[in-house]
Structure 1
Amino acid sequence: MRKIVGLALALALGAGAAGAQVSLDPASPAPIASILGWSPERQASGYRDIEHVFKTHTIKRGKTVHPLPVAAKQIDPTFTYDGKTWTIDAYMKAYRVSGLLVLKDGKIVLEKYGLGRKPTDRWTSFSVAKSVTSTLVGAAIQDGKIKSINDPVTTYIPELKGSAYEGVTVRQMLMMSSGVKWNENYTDPKSDVALAGGTVAEPGVNPMVSYLRKLPRAHEPGTTFNYNTGETDLVGVLVSKAVGEPLAQYASEKIWRPYGMDEDGIWMTDPGGQERGGTGISMTLRDYARLGLFIEGGGVANGKRIVPPWWVAQATAREIDNGTPAPGGYGYFWWIRPNGAYEAVGIFGQSVTTFPADRLIIVQNAAWPAPTGKALSAARNAMIEGIRKAIVSGS
Structure 2
Amino acid sequence: MTHSMKALTLFLLLPLAALAQPAPWIDPAEDARHFGAADKLLFWTPEQQVAGYRNMDRLVQVREIRAGDKPLALPEKPADLAAVAIPHDGGSLTVADYLEQQSVAGLLVIKDGAIVYERYRLGNDRSTKWISYSVAKSVVSMLVGAAIRDGYIASVDEKVSDYLPRLKGSAYDQATLRDILQMASGVAWDETYDDPESDINQAGWNTLALYDYLAGKPRSGAPGETFNYNTAETNLVGNVLRAAIGNNLSTYLEQKIWQPFGMESDASWNLTEAGGGEFGGCCINATLRDYGRLGLFALNNGRLADGTPVLPKHWMAESTTPSKGAPYYGYLWWLREGGAYQASGIFGQGIYIDPGENLVIALHSARPDADKDEDWALQAALFKAIAGAL
TM beyond 0.5: yes
Alpha-carbon distance, 1:298 to partner:
0.6
Distance in 2, matches of 1:300 and 1:274, equals 27
Does residue 261 (structure 1) correspond to residue 267 (structure 2)? The answer is no
Partner of 1:347: 346
Distance in 2, matches of 1:195 and 1:268, equals 21
Distance in 2, matches of 1:181 and 1:215, equals 6
Alpha-carbon distance, 1:15 to partner:
5.2
Partner of 1:233: 235
Does residue 309 (structure 1) correspond to residue 299 (structure 2)? The answer is no
- Matches for 1:1-395 after TM superposition, within 5 Å: 14=13, 30-31=38-39, 34-71=40-77, 73-76=79-82, 77-199=84-206, 206-271=208-273, 273-302=276-305, 303-322=307-326, 328-391=327-390
Give 1:318's aligned amino acid: P
Q: Deviations over 1:300-336 (max 9, x none)?
A: 12432111001010101212343xxxxx511000001
Give 1:170's aligned amino acid: L
Structure 1 stretches of 4+ with a deviation exceeding 4 A read none
Q: Deviations over 1:221-244 (max 9, x none)?
A: 000001111101011011011000
Give 2:367's aligned amino acid: W
Distance in 1, matches of 2:148 and 2:215, equals 24
State, as a whole percentage, how many aligned pairs show the same letter. Answer: 42
Q: Secondary structure at the match of 1:330?
A: coil
Q: Secondary structure at the match of 1:57?
A: strand
Give 1:231's aligned amino acid: E
Alpha-carbon distance, 1:45 to partner:
0.8
Change (3 A) 1:185 1:65: same
Alpha-carbon distance, 1:64 to partner:
1.1
Distance in 1, matches of 2:352 and 2:205, equals 32
Distance in 2, matches of 1:103 and 1:313, equals 21
Q: Deviations over 1:240-274 (max 9, x none)?
A: 11000011111101111111111111111112611
Contact preservation (8 Å) 1:98, 1:365: yes
Give 1:379's aligned amino acid: L
Alpha-carbon distance, 1:374 to partner:
2.1
Alpha-carbon distance, 1:277 to partner:
0.2
Contact preservation (8 Å) 1:54, 1:268: yes
Distance in 1, matches of 2:128 and 2:280, equals 22
Contact preservation (8 Å) 2:135, 2:350: yes
Contact preservation (8 Å) 1:180, 1:219: yes
Q: Deviations over 1:167-196 (max 9, x none)?
A: 211111101000111111211122211222
Q: Secondary structure at the match of 1:14?
A: coil
Give 1:349's aligned amino acid: G
Q: Deviations over 1:188-225 (max 9, x none)?
A: 122211222345xxxxx633222212211111100000
Alpha-carbon distance, 1:29 to partner:
7.4
Distance in 1, matches of 2:11 and 2:281, equals 14
- State the Cα RMSD in Å: 1.9
Change (3 A) 1:361 1:63: same
Q: Deviations over 1:142-181 (max 9, x none)?
A: 0000011111112211111101100211111101000111
Alpha-carbon distance, 1:339 to partner:
3.4
Q: Secondary structure at the match of 1:365?
A: strand
Alpha-carbon distance, 1:36 to partner:
3.0
Distance in 2, matches of 1:375 and 1:159, equals 41
Change (3 A) 1:194 1:186: same
TM-score by length of 2: 0.87
Alpha-carbon distance, 1:44 to partner:
0.7
Partner of 2:4: none
Q: Secondary structure at the match of 1:221?
A: coil
Q: Secondary structure at the match of 1:233?
A: helix
Q: Secondary structure at the match of 1:54?
A: coil
Q: Secondary structure at the match of 1:108?
A: strand
TM-score by length of 1: 0.86
Give 1:335's aligned amino acid: W
Change (3 A) 1:94 1:270: same
Give 2:283's aligned amino acid: G
Distance in 2, matches of 1:73 and 1:81, equals 22
Alpha-carbon distance, 1:82 to partner:
4.1
Q: Could you say which structure has the higher helix fraction?
A: 2
Distance in 2, matches of 1:13 and 1:57, equals 19
